[in-house]
Structures are given as C-alpha cells and as structure tokens.
Structure 1
Amino acid sequence: METIEKGVVRRMYELINLGRVDDLDEICSPDLKGHAGAGADLSELKSSLNGFREPFPDLTADVRHLVQEDDVISTWVTYTATHERDFAGVPASGRRVKFAAWDLVRVREGRIVEITQYCDLFTIMSQIGALPTSAPA
C-alpha cells in the first residue's frame, strides 16, 4: 500500500534520478535534520547528493524496498552509475558501479524532516579500482 509518506520518499529518488537534487526543497523541510552520509541539514544533504552526481552523472536509484512504521520509512536502494570524474581522489575510470544504500527517512505533514543515509562505499571504491583485489601473500 502506497502511503503519502512513501510517495514523498519515492519522489526524493525521482529527483535524484532526474539530476534535480536542488529541487529537494519541494519535499524536504527547511529544518531537515540529517545524519551519517546525509550531512547535518538540507544544504549538506544536497551537497552530499551532488557530490555523487558529479563523478557519477548517470547515477540511478532503483528503490528495492520501502518499509514504513509510523512516520519512518526504511528504504533499500540499489544505485548504478558510471565513474566519469574524480571520486575520493580516484581519477575517472569509466567503470560501471553498482552498490547498495539504505536510507531511514522521517516524513511529517508531507515533508522529509529527518534522514539518515548509508551507502556501501567499500563496493564503490573496489569497483572503480581504488582497492587492491587481493591481499599480498
């Protein structure tokens, strides 16, 4: 069943997929509180997401699961993208990446008021060639 809260969260991923991170104002509270990869507030959330869009301009979120309890939605997402610019000091490799992310989003009165984001940076770094593929003998 699609609730209003789940619809708001789905809209967030639509905006990410469209590359319209700056339009998050339409669904996020100006007083948004962020945690972990989301940064501390709305400005830092946008900066964090744009920080991924720059090296991975074709970043696409595939929402796998939305699970809701009260006003909190837990989201399991799979992202795919191509590494086209420097990321974390690693020059563009042209490699495709696929990684998982988990977001915990609180929605009140149709707006995102709190978000915690975690993504699998180890997998990203491995796929762009930043990590050795095996330990030395």
Structure 2
Amino acid sequence: METTEKSVVRRFYEIVGSGRPEVLDEVCSAGLKGHAGAGSDLQELKNSVASLLAAFPDLTPDVRHLVQEGDLVSTWVSYTGTHQADFAGVPAGGRRVKFAAWDLIRVEDGEIVEITQYCDLFTIMSQIGALPTAAPA
C-alpha cells in the first residue's frame, strides 16, 4: 500500500509531466523550502520547472524509485524530452535527451514542505551538443 507521502510525491511528478508548473500549489506548501536545483522557495521551484519545460516541452518523468523514511521521500527519476528551445544558452537542436535526477522531498500534512533536487546536468549538456564528446585522436 502506498503512503500518503508517496502519493503526494507521485502527484508532484504528474504535474511536472503535465507541463503545468503553475499548479504545483496543489502539492507544495506556500512556505516550501528549496535547495540546490529547486531554488529556495515555491516560486523559484515553479520558475526552475518552467524553465526546463520551456526548453523541453515534452519532458516526461519516469519515477523509478520512491524510498520513504519517516516524512522524507527519496526519489530516483529518469526524464526524457526533446530540446525545442534555448537551454543554458544552447539553441534548440531538436535532440532527444534522457537524464536522471534525484530528489529528497519532505512531506508534512499532505504537502511538500522541503525539496532538494539534483539532476544530471552534464548529461543534458552533452546530449544537446554543448560539450565536446571526445578528444581528438
């Protein structure tokens, strides 16, 4: 049986996959504290997700693992998408990307109150052609 905390976290990724970061209020506390890639608060989290979705509008999360200890849910997520707009100064190239992310999410009273996000930015940049792929022979 899935816990309430895990259900809230799954809903978070459903919202991201729907391309509607403006409705993250459904699962996130107004007082959300963010760390690393999540920004520092709910608005910065929304902006971060919106920025990623602007560059990869078909971004699709695939939740691989949800591990819970108390009110903390650790997630391992695989994302796929197509580079369709500027990302980190790199013009759209139409390339498909697949990258991993790890999030640590604290859920209290049915809301996400704290989130730390790390994603494999190196893989994204490599796949969109922003990094050299091999040293010359």
Q: TM-score range by the shorter chain?
A: over 0.9
Partner of 1:62: 62
Q: How well do the aligned residues superpose, as a CA RMSD in angstroms?
A: 0.8
Aligned residues: 137
How far the C-alpha of 1:20 sits from its partner, in A, is 1.4
1:136 to partner: Cα distance = 4.2
CA drift at 1:26: 1.2
Q: Secondary structure at the match of 1:12?
A: helix
Provide Cα deviations, 1:3-39, integer angstroms capped at 9, x if missing partner: 0000000000000111111101111110000000000
Question: CA–CA distance in 2 between the matches of 1:65 and 1:42?
Answer: 24
Offset at residue 135 of structure 1 (A):
2.5
Shift of 1:131: 0.4
Rounded Cα–Cα distance in structure 2 between residues aligned with 1:71 and 1:136? 50
Give the whole-Å Cα distance in 1 for the aligned partners of 2:136 and 2:102: 32
What pairs up with 1:13-92 in 2 under 5 angstroms?
13-92=13-92
- Code of the aligned partner of 2:79: Y
Partner secondary structure for residue 129 of structure 1: coil
Measure, in 1, the Cα distance between the counterparts of 2:88 and 2:132: 16
TM-score, with length taken from structure 2 = 0.98
SS in 1 for 2:55: coil
Rounded Cα–Cα distance in structure 2 between residues aligned with 1:54 and 1:97: 14
For the residues of structure 2 that align with 1:136 and 1:108, how far apart are their CA atoms? 52
Structure 2 letter corresponding to 1:8: V
Match of 1:54, SS state, is helix
Q: Deviations over 1:36-89 (max 9, x none)?
A: 000000000000000100010000000000000000000000000000001101
Identity %: 73
Give structure 2 stretches of 5+ with no counterpart. none
Distance 2:77 2:69 in 1: 18
Secondary structure of residue in 2 paired with 1:113: strand
